[in-house]
Structure formats: structure tokens, C-alpha cells
Structure 1
Amino acid sequence: MAAAKEDIKRLNLPVEGMTCAACVGHVENALLGVPGVVEASVNLGTEKASVEFSEAEVTVQDIQDAVSNAGYKIGTQSASLNIGGMTCAACVGHVENALLGVPGVATANVNLGVERASVEFLPGMAELSDLQTAVEEAGYRVEGLNDVGDQERELERLSKVKEVRELRHRLILAGSGAVLLFLGTFEPFPWVSKFMGQAYFPFLLWALATPVQFWAGSTFYTSGIGTLRHGVANMHTLIALGTSVAYGYSVAVVLLNEFSPGVLADNGIDAKVYFDTAAIIVALILLGRFLEARARGQTSEAIRRLIGLRPVSARVVRDGQEEDIPVELVVPGDIVLVRPGEKLPVDGVVTEGYSAVDESMLTGESMPVEKSPGDRVYGATINSNGAIHFQATQVGGETVLAQIIRLVEEAQGSKAPIQAMADRVASYFVPAVIVVALAAFAFWIVLGPAPVLTFSTLVLVSVLIIACPCALGLATPTAIIVGTGKGAETGVLVKQAQALEIAHKVDTVVLDKTGTLTTGKPVVTDLLPSGATEQELLRLAASAERGSEHPLGEAVVNAAQERGLELDPVTDFQAIPGRGISAQVNGSTIRFGNQALLEDSGIALDGLVDKASELAAQGKTPMFLSSGDKAMGLIAVADTLKPEAQEGLAKLQAMGLEAVMLTGDNAQTANAIATQLGLDRVEAEVLPQDKAAVVKKLQSEGKVVAMVGDGINDAPALVQADVGMAMGSGTDVAMESADITLMRGDVNGVATALDLSRQTIRTIKQNLFWAFFYNVMLIPVAAGVLYPVFQGVGGVPGSLEFFFGEQGFLNPVLAALAMAFSSVTVVSNSLRLRRAKV
């Protein structure tokens, strides 16, 4: 029986131990094999798994066990809570049981001596606020939440600090051992004869190679061979098998040469050892992984910056006293004091004081924004001048910063459709490489040159080592991570990687006029009475519009209030979509709206139509007013264009895109505004419910459409479009319906988003081409396909002997070098997006 929709929970969990695209499939299959898991998507770039599951059917332990059984590990988060109210050992058990009862908590240890609880939990399934609530409901107090360490750990995880540090230590040992083994291959060390004799020199090489193989290269065994126990293989499997073959062959040669020397000679086996080859391969691959980890740490720089913006503490005013507390303890309703130069801890509304606030870290807008009582302020922004008090409204995960981080993380963790091909190939890649390697070994051991075992073994090692599923796995996610991060820095928030991919195909951009191209704050510009005074005309219109929420109606009401006019009571108010309004004012029926509204009611407009045309030609919206069956005059309203609108539209046109303005204005007014903006195509007199139909019509013409809007009426059109973009100044509904949110509310952001999409997809295609080209071209070379070519031209040219030896078989060390730098190339190419101009 399917789980109820409200029972479905979505989590983003860090997964440790993944090394290549094959690992992605293994973890996804393991998660999907858990009864109750609805969907699972794993991203190698972010090293996270997105899981949808039924809380009624799946426990934390089920998810952990599934990933663990597949040979990987789910990363947990730690928190330290200062507990108040504990008096004895029994309290320890009470608090521990309360914490362990929170879904997502893996371990909880309470120390009575220091009055502290150490908790390990799955981030996303349990939050710090859940832990605090559990302790308080058990009858105790949380006097401090130590989340700073968790923030630092998340920053460390994203920057790969721990991984880079560990790889550096392994690389130093492997590199030192490889150099000594390489030198020892040419000539025994001069001090060998003095201390141990030349006959035992191979044993010294063996001793030097062993720590390189089994300590520096231990991760290849724990990950690569460990997964074989679960019936799967990954990149580390290939490395472990390849280096083990070279190492094992050399051990066998040393032992046979010492105890049964005749066996080697009788069977035509070369007595040369390849400890240096195995060690150099380990060192080169560790070097590649070290450089890759450093580069991958840079791909998440944008999200690290966002996380680093999180404030640590807040100064609240309680009972008239200022108190510094951890930001996690701020609750809605608290009054927060922020002095000049300080960071705002949470979102809220100013209650006292005046200042300017730098919001560039959230919106990308460089100019500080003036704030006064009643204005909204946001956490992580910086107070420039003047102390302000504000009332906290959104805290913790509800702040704008938290929502931006969540959006960016979800986008970076999502998969673009273009990645599907790479994932399909990767799922079969490693087994196929092993089959090719064994087939090449068998072929050359039968048909290869003497000594056949030596050459066929080198071919086996080369094929296993040169194959690189890692490059395939990183080609798409690293570009998505950098691209979405770059977008966040410029005020463009992409919700899903799919939207980023589709956006590069967009050829038509539909822009709703109000609030997108205009400020959305219309003002009354003209009063043209006919049989009434200007004041009476405005008073009647404003009285009728008192019950309206339409922006044009609000402009009329504001104009009347500014003139100090006293408005009349209204009854029987009726909004007529696409026409205007009707209401009873002082016993008379007042109609206020467009020409069609009055004409449909049989009211003669006399000379008002010509005047309306003149106003419309100026880009103004004329509205007719009648009282009873008599026309009373015209009121014109205009919405000022955003200063950057023309520039933004020019950028879209320069990109070869068709821009279409969508408006409910009459055609004359719409065309006048379009002329000011330099637009050729306008869809005028469009009713709110018909906006989606206009988008659908364009799509039926074969166009790929992006819809840009900011209002509730835009939501259906945003959903209908191939890509929906919402202005950050718009409504929450519009943002929920959109694929991309433009935080600055700036038309230039549309061009920025589409340009970013084009550059990101171009980078992905370059990465995929390199990854496929590399493997398709070099695996056959490693398998010995050039041997007959070189034999046909009389042998390997001297200049190529370093690469292919005397016979034409690829040097395994070069195979390791190529493999190590293939993934580095992909990641480095993705990093170029950080410097891209959008």
C-alpha cells in the first residue's frame, strides 16, 4: 500500500567513501532496495544522497544499514548541549532517552559532571531545535547550543580539508617510497653490499614497497576490495587489482629467484621486479586525488561563503536588559538590538531606529538599503550606520539566508538530465574494464612477444589503471556545483539542475509588465473630468476602489488620500476581471474601468475615447468613470519603468533571444511602453487567467519559453513555461512556482541566468567529451592495440620508447599518470566557471 503523501519525508544525507560514478549507482540501488524508500538520487560532486521515504516504514537505522551494507557510510553531525536542571544519575538517563527518542538521533551521551550532552544525528532528519525541544519536554533546560563546531565541520567537509590533509600524508610516504624504488631499479644502493649483500637487495625493495602498497594505498583496498563483498566494484577496485598484480608478480619473482631460480629460467619468465611500478602508480594516483580534492573543495566555495555568513550570536532585549545569546536561542517575537557595523542575526521587522543595511551578500545589490520602522531586515546582512531594534520573525531554518543555502544545496545535489547517459555508462564501466583487462591478458599470453607473462601482466595492469570512471562521474556535478554557486553570488538562485539545463535552450523570454519591467507602483498622472470637478471625479473613483486590491485601484486611493479627500462608504462592491469594478456609492452605481466596461453597460463616452487614446499613446493606462448612466470622466495611471529594464532587454536581444511583453493593458498603451523599451512583440489585454495560455501558444509554435513574473497571477504561467523565473521582490507563491529566483528583482538577472546556463552546459559537454574521449582512446592503447602498428614500421621509434618500451606496450606508470590527471582536468575545467563573466 502506497504511503500517504504527508507521510513522505525528504532528506539530503552526506555519504562517505564514494570515489567514482559507479559508486553513485551502488548507493542509489542500496537505498532504493529499502522498503518504504520512494526515491533516491546520489550526487558524486556534493557527496550527498537525496532520499524520499515513508516515515511510517523506514527508520534511520534502515537507511544507515543499507548504505553501510553497500560498503559506504552516512556522515553524521554532532552537537554539544549544555543541560540545566540535572541533579543525579537518574537525570542522565532521562535526558539520554529523550534525545534518543528524536527521529534521526544516532547516539546521545550525557555527562553529569560537566552538565553536557553530546549528540550525533543525521542532519536533515533531526535539527538542533528538535534536540532542544526534547530536552525541555523531559523537564530540563538547554542553556547553550554549541552549533559553531558543526558549522566549522560543515565548512571543513565542503573544503575537503580533512581529506586533503590525509591524502597529503599518504602522498608523502608513497612519493618517498616510489623515488627510492625507482632509483633502486637501475642500480643497487651503494651501502647495500656493506650491510646486507647484493643477493638480498630485492628483499629491501620488497620491504620499501610494502608500506606504500598497504598503508599509503590502503583506501584502495578498503573501498575497492571491500565493495566486492557486496557484489559491486568501483574505481578503487581497478586500482587495487592493478597495483596488486604488479606487486604480487614482483613478490613471486623475488621468492622464486631466491628459492627456485630454475623455475623462472625454465619458463622464460623475466626476473625483473616491478615494485617501483606499483609504488609509482600508487603515488601518482594519490597525487591526482590530492589535486582533485583540492580542486573539488574550491567548487563549493560559494556555498561555503553562504554558510560562513551565518551569525553566531545575537543581542536581545529581555525585561529591559541586553543579553548576548547563541543565535539558535533567538525565538520569534524577541527584540534584537544591532549596532553599527554589526551583523543582523535573524530576519525581522524594524521597530525602532533608522539605518542603512548592506544586503549585497544576499541579493548581489551593492548599494545599502535604507531601513526605518516597519521595514523588513534579514539575517547575515550588515548594519551600516545607526543602531536599530527589530522584532525577530523568522529564525533558524526559516531565515532568508537558510532558505538560500537550502535552495543552493538542493540545486547542487540534483541531477541534470544530461548526466543520465554518464550514469548509465558508469554502471557497466568497471565490470567492462575488468573483462577487457582479462581478455587482453589472455590474448597476449597466447600471442604476445617473449617473455609473454611479463608483457601480458603489464597489459593487464595498464588497462586496469588507465580506466577512469571518476572523470565520468564528476563531469556534470562539478559544473553544476560551480554554476549554481556562481549564480547564488550574482543573485540568481537555481532550484534544480534540470532548469539550468533547459534554460540554455530558451529562445523566447516572456516578461510580465507589472513588477517585472515596471516598479509595480503606479501613480495617478491625469484627471480629466466630464461634467464633474477633478476632486469629485477622484473622490468617487477612490471611494469605489476602497475594497479593491488591484495596484491601479490602490494608486487612485493613494492619490485621494494625498489630497485629503474624505471617501464615501461603499456597498455591493464587485470586481469584474479584465474590465474593472462596480460599486454602490451614496446610492449611485459607480463603474470604474476600461472602455469595454462602460460600453457594455450602454453608457455614452462622447469625446472621452479620443482623450483616452492620447493618454494610451503616452504609455498611460486610461480608466473611465461613470455614475449611474452618465460618464464622469477619465483618470490616467502610469507605472514607471524600472531604470534597468531597457538595458536588461537589450542584453536579451543581443543574446539572440526574442523578448515578449505580457500585459493586461490595452493595445495602444502596451505598444507605447513597448516602443520605449525597444520591444517588437507585445501580448496586450491578457486576462490574468489567460497568461498561461499565451505561454502555451508560443510553445506550440516550437519555441522554448522562459516566463518572468512576480505576482500570484503569474504562477500558472511560470509553471507552464519551460523555465519559470520569479523576481525576488515578488510573492512566495510565484517563487514556489518558479525554477529560478532572481533575488535582485532586476531584469538584468534574466540575461545573467540564461548566460550562466549556457556557460554551465557548455562546460558539462566539454567535460563529458573529455571523459568519454579519454577512456575510448586510451583503454585500447593500454590493451596493446599499437603493438602490431609498431611492429609493422620496424619497431618503436626511440623518441617513444619511454612511453611504449621496446615492444609497443604502454608503460603502466604513464597509464597511472593519465588516469590521475583525467579527473583533475574535468574538475579544473569546471572551476573556470568561477571566473566566468555573466
Structure 2
Amino acid sequence: MKLQQWIMQHKNHLTLINGLLILLAGVSKFLFTWIFGYQLAMLIASVIGMLPIFLQAYQALRVKVISIDLLVSVAILGALLIGEYNESAIVAFLFLFGSFLEQKTLEKTRTAIHSLTQMAPKSALKITDNGRTESVDIDDIDKGDHLLVKTDAQVPVDGVIDEGEGYLNEASVTGESQQRKKEKGDDVFAGTFLDNGTLKIVTKRVGEDTTFGKIIELVEEAQDSKSNAERFIDKFAKYYTPAVLLLAFIVGIFSQDVRLAITILVLGCPGALVIGVPVSNVAGIGSGAKSGILIKGGEVIDKFSKVDTFVFDKTGTLTMGKPSVAAVKNYTDNFTESLKITASIERESDHPLGQAIVDYANVSSYVSVEQTNVVKGQGIIATLSDKKVLIGNQSLMVDHHVPLSKSIKKDIHQLQSTGHSLVMVAMNGRLSLLIGIKDQIRPGAKETLAHLKQTGVKELIMLTGDNQETAENIAQELGITKVYGNLLPENKADYIRQLQKEGHQVAFVGDGVNDSPSLALSDVGIAMGGGTEVAIETSDVVLIQSNFERIAKAYHLTKKIALNMQENIMIALATVLLLLIGLIFGYIYMASGMFVHELSILIVIFNGMRLLLGTKKKA
């Protein structure tokens, strides 16, 4: 057992010795014409080289797997028995050296995931009850703890800023390297870096529960899942290897040509075919992770690359999910003062429309409000030192006899027809402001949908629980042709089923708990990263930080991965065909065949790695 461990631990060293002995043999023969020295060096090289290969074949046989190592082992042993020491030594070296290069290049395809795990926070500065700070292990942090983050430090947990402001680099979570300004009340994420400023944060999630922890968990899970192509190749290799052994045996019996039988074993190794698809899969998933796109496995890649229909939820997906001021009509001489008064009154309300006005006004100081009275279903009546202010809907204005001219009514109709919720502000009996509030369309949504159409997507559909008129206004602005409003979650799921019955490959994009049935039912569920945990868990693809533009990038990436897999399969099959033709016509021999075989493995690995290299160039 110790000998086996030593051999496997020093496999690369044995490969180096094997190569040096082959070089020494060449010097003996061609410089000194010492044939005995040539044969002896090749024999020793063969024995040293075959040790790890034999051991790997034996370990595979113990679990009832006939591996590629067994084919090569029989080929090396056969070459030794017929005295072709040069063939056995060179075949062993090429196989071991190819395995070494395969190991090193595969490690590079996992660099993206490894870098994520290395970036996971290890400690944090905890603010104690007496106001002091102490460095503690990340495992000792609990929800609700107060932490200090200094300039150039890593944010250790998911939390909310309690004090301070600064600029954070969120590339590890969002895939975007530009700085983002954060201040009190803003969320921060574990694994991001504070480039400038000092923050005091309250812990919301730690360790594996953080956004960063979820990224690592999802990517690691994704690497373990397999695509249809991988499962096919696994089955193919399972039956192919014994078939090659049987073929070599039959050829050896009938032709009485041992060299030919051994050469068939060497050329029959399906190395490039077995390794090509997993390399593309792992490299593609790693590439997506670095860009803020989490793809949960090879099967998702296969399905996503064939999607022809995208179905979108509206609120929180196509739109921001939070009402904000989109239009303001001013009918006073002092707009700034009117807006300040409105914000001063609305900040005492917890209504979403009122909060949207406060956010929009963004004033540094407020005026004193003496009295407020909420009129149910209409708005607020407030009293200031020199003004009586009405803030609410049109019925509040009518009830208090606020005159609305034809031009004002025209403005009201124009805003209502474009999907705005209206807040009217009247001061001392005259209308001062007309504020249009609506859920804003996500930045980049229109361009992303246009790009999806250009890449061959047949249908872009919106399903929403909102009213049909509002949904149609947004759909018209975005270029979506099919819109269905007033839907319950079960109605959305039924529509997904109908599309699938019609033969469509459907991707559903959503963010809420109510979207979970549709996310799970669709061929590919895509969750916005800022959505609920249920939506993220039931989806197949997660867009970190709800970056809508990543949808088109994710779709394009899966198509690239699928194409890369196909290229690798073609390279592998073409190599086998080339070797067989060369064998038939006498152009390929054992050592040269092994060289071509190992070269094909490297080609498919490097071809798969292009998926990672492309990401680095664009970053």
C-alpha cells in the first residue's frame, strides 16, 4: 500500500525519469553507436513508466471499470514481450506526459472557481458592547452583530450599512469591476472590497448563507452535474474500451501480428472523446461565474442553448419592482420649494408612493409640518405655518374644489395613459405639482430583449399579475409582442405547460416566491439574484445582482459552450478516424499513434479553455 502511494505521489517525477532515460538511450545509439546501452535504457524507461499506468489500471479494475489505462498497460506489456523496448518506453512516456499536461490544463479551467473560494472572508472586525473592535473568526459572527470595515478591507458578511459611506468593488459578486457608492441603509455583500471609506454594518447573513457563499455552493454543485453529451460519452466509453480490447485480441489471433494488435490498443484509447465535453462544461461554468452568471450544471447548458421562447415576469424582473418618480409637472413659480414641502409631508407617511417622492426630492432639510390628517382612499391634508396643503388623488382635489384647467386635465390623461400612478399637490387651493409615479423599467432591458430577438429567439412573452393596460404599456415600450395580465401563479404555470405542449423550449425569468412554480416547471428557470431565496433555489440559472443584461450574455454563453462541446467531439472522432486510416495504409505506428492521441487530448483541452480566455479579454 505504501509503495502504491509512493508511486502515485511521485508520478510526475517518474515521468521525468522516463523521458531522461529515453533521451539517454537516443544519445547512446546515435552518438556512441552503443546498441546495448540503447536497449537497456529503453527497457528501464519502460518499466519505470509503466508502474503508475499499471497501478491506475489495477485500481480501476478493482471497482469493475475497464479504463484507458488498461489499454495502454496491455500495449506496453505486449511491446516488452516482443522486445520492442523503444515502442513501450515511448508509449509510456507520451501517455504519462499527456496525463501531466491534462492535469495542469484542467487545473486552469477551475481557476475561476478556485479564486472564488480563496476570496471567501476568513475574519472580521467585531464592534463589542463597549465600542471597541476585535478581530474574530468569521465562524464566530452571528446575525445582528455590528462590524467595522476599513478602507481596502474585505466585507466579511452580507449586511446593511448602519453608519458611514464608501465605494465598494463588487466584482466578486456582480462580475462588474466598477466602484459603487454605498451609504447608510444600503446592502453590502460578503467577498466585496471597500476601496475607499469606513463602514459600520449590521450582519444579516454569514458564511454559506451569504450571497458569496451561495455563489461558491451553486458553482461547485454545477460542476458535479452532467449534460446529455457527457452521460452519452460515459456510456460510450464503458462499452467502447472492452470492445477495443476484444478487437485487438481477435486481430492478434487471426493475423498472428502482435505488433498490429498492440497498435490497435494504443490507437483505440478514447481519451479526447472522454475529456473533451467535461472540459467545455467546467470551463464554461467557471466563465459564467466570473461574469455574475451562475449556471447549475451541464444539463442546464444543454437545455438553455436550445431555448426558443423567453417568458418574463413583470414586477422585479422587467421592472425594478419599486415605484419611483418618473414624471413631474410644475404649475408654480418655485418648484424647489413646492417639492421640499411635499417631501416634508410625505416623509411622515409609510405609503410606497410617498416614499418614492421623498427619495426623488432628496432634500437635506425639511420644513416644519404642524398637523397632518390622512383621508382614507384619497391622500393627506397638512397644515404649515402659512399654507394648507393637499396631497393625494384627483378625488381629493375635486372634493376640496381645486380647479383643474384643460391643460392640467390633458397632462393627467397623458400620464395615466402611459401607466403612471398620479399624486397631485395643491397649496392654498391651487394645484402646484402633478407627480407621475411608476415602476421603472430595468436599465438595459429593452436592448437585451432586442439582442435576444437578433440571436434567433422566436417568442418574447410577458406574464404578470398586474392589470392588462399597465402591462401592455410596458410591453409596447420594450418591444414584447405577447402580454397576459391579471394572472395568478397557477395561471402562469398553466401557460408554461401550454407552450411546452406546442413544442417550445421555454426559459422563464422571474424573481418572486410567486414565480417559483413557473421557474421550476420551465425548461430553464432564470432567477434575478436580488429576488427571493425560493426563486433562486428553484431556478437553473441565477443572475447575480439582478443584472438584466446578463440574460443575453448567459444565453450566448450556453450556445458557445454547446458549440465547444460539439467541436471537441468532432476533433476526437476525427482523430480516431485519422489513426485508423493511417494504420490501414501503414503511415501510423504505435509511438506515432500515441503521439497523435495525446496531441488530440491537448487540443480539446485548450479548445475548452478558450471559454475562460474569452472572459478574461472582456473583463
**Does the alignment reach a TM-score above 0.5?**
yes
Q: Which residue of the other structure, out of 703, 707, 722, is the alignment partner of 2:508?
A: 707
Structural mapping, 1:269-418, within 5 Å: 274-318=84-128, 319-418=130-229
* Distance apart, 1:777 and its partner CA: 5.0
* Distance apart, 1:413 and its partner CA: 1.2
Q: Which residue of the other structure, out of 476, 479, 485, is the alignment partner of 2:277?
A: 476
Counterpart contact for 2:489–2:517, Cα < 8 Å: no
Counterpart contact for 1:221–1:237, Cα < 8 Å: yes
* Distance apart, 1:699 and its partner CA: 2.6
Structure 1 residue matching 2:545: 3-state secondary structure = coil
Change (3 A) 1:526 1:167: same
What corresponds to 2:68 in structure 1? 235
What corresponds to 2:79 in structure 1? 246
What corresponds to 2:589 in structure 1? 811
What corresponds to 2:601 in structure 1? 823
What corresponds to 2:420 in structure 1? 620
Whole-Å separation in 2 of the counterparts to 1:277 and 1:760? 38
* 1:83-111 deviation digits (Å, cap 9, x = unpaired): xxxxxxxxxxxxxxxxxxxxxxxxxxxxx
* Distance apart, 1:690 and its partner CA: 2.0
Change (3 A) 1:362 1:667: same
**Is 2:45 aligned against 1:212?**
yes
Whole-Å separation in 2 of the counterparts to 1:697 and 1:566? 52
**Is 2:345 aligned against 1:502?**
no
Output the TM-score relative to the length of structure 2.
Answer: 0.80
Whole-Å separation in 2 of the counterparts to 1:618 and 1:691? 25
Structural mapping, 1:592-607, within 5 Å: none
* Distance apart, 1:720 and its partner CA: 2.2
* Distance apart, 1:725 and its partner CA: 0.7
Counterpart contact for 1:524–1:556, Cα < 8 Å: no
Which structure 2 residue ranges, 5 or more long, are not aligned?
330-341, 362-366, 379-391, 394-405, 424-433
Counterpart contact for 2:568–2:604, Cα < 8 Å: yes
* Distance apart, 1:766 and its partner CA: 1.4
Structure with higher RCO (Cα < 8 A, 6+ apart): 2
Whole-Å separation in 2 of the counterparts to 1:410 and 1:616? 48
Counterpart contact for 2:313–2:462, Cα < 8 Å: yes
* Distance apart, 1:637 and its partner CA: 4.1
Aligned Cα root-mean-square deviation (Å): 3.8
* Distance apart, 1:566 and its partner CA: 4.1
What corresponds to 2:25 in structure 1? 181
Letter in 1 for 2:352: E
Counterpart contact for 1:621–1:665, Cα < 8 Å: no
Counterpart contact for 1:725–1:739, Cα < 8 Å: yes
More helix, by proportion: 2
Counterpart contact for 2:25–2:39, Cα < 8 Å: no
Q: Which residue of the other structure, out of 323, 345, 350, is the alignment partner of 1:522?
A: 323
Whole-Å separation in 1 of the counterparts to 2:495 and 2:611? 35
What corresponds to 2:431 in structure 1? none
* Distance apart, 1:337 and its partner CA: 1.8
Change (3 A) 1:430 1:732: same
* Distance apart, 1:612 and its partner CA: 8.4
What corresponds to 2:450 in structure 1? 650
Structure 1 residue matching 2:82: 3-state secondary structure = helix
Counterpart contact for 2:226–2:299, Cα < 8 Å: yes
* 1:797-831 deviation digits (Å, cap 9, x = unpaired): xxxxxx63xxxxx3111111122122212211111
Whole-Å separation in 1 of the counterparts to 2:490 and 2:574? 50
* Distance apart, 1:722 and its partner CA: 1.3
Whole-Å separation in 1 of the counterparts to 2:447 and 2:285? 24
Which structure 1 residue ranges, 5 or more long, are not aligned?
1-67, 74-161, 193-200, 251-273, 446-455, 529-537, 547-552, 571-580, 583-591, 594-606, 624-633, 787-802, 805-809
Counterpart contact for 2:66–2:238, Cα < 8 Å: no
**Is 2:549 aligned against 1:748?**
yes
Question: How many aligned positions are there?
Answer: 556
Whole-Å separation in 1 of the counterparts to 2:58 and 2:358? 80
Letter in 2 for 1:618: T
Deviation above 6 Å: which 4+ runs of structure 1? 524-528, 560-565, 609-613
Whole-Å separation in 2 of the counterparts to 1:613 and 1:694? 33
* Distance apart, 1:178 and its partner CA: 1.7
Structure 2 residue matching 1:724: 3-state secondary structure = strand
Change (3 A) 1:635 1:336: closer
Change (3 A) 1:227 1:730: closer
Whole-Å separation in 1 of the counterparts to 2:82 and 2:318? 72
Letter in 2 for 1:175: G
Counterpart contact for 1:246–1:461, Cα < 8 Å: yes
Q: Percent identity?
A: 30
Whole-Å separation in 2 of the counterparts to 1:831 and 1:187? 40
* Distance apart, 1:708 and its partner CA: 1.0
Whole-Å separation in 2 of the counterparts to 1:299 and 1:495? 17
Change (3 A) 1:699 1:744: same
Letter in 1 for 2:524: V
Output the TM-score relative to the length of structure 1.
Answer: 0.60
Whole-Å separation in 1 of the counterparts to 2:589 and 2:212? 52
Whole-Å separation in 2 of the counterparts to 1:388 and 1:524? 29
Structural mapping, 1:369-768, within 5 Å: 369-445=180-256, 456-523=257-324, 554-555=352-353, 566=372, 568=374, 614-620=414-420, 637-657=437-457, 658-768=459-569
Structure 1 residue matching 2:322: 3-state secondary structure = coil
Letter in 2 for 1:177: L
Change (3 A) 1:380 1:249: same
Counterpart contact for 1:509–1:708, Cα < 8 Å: yes
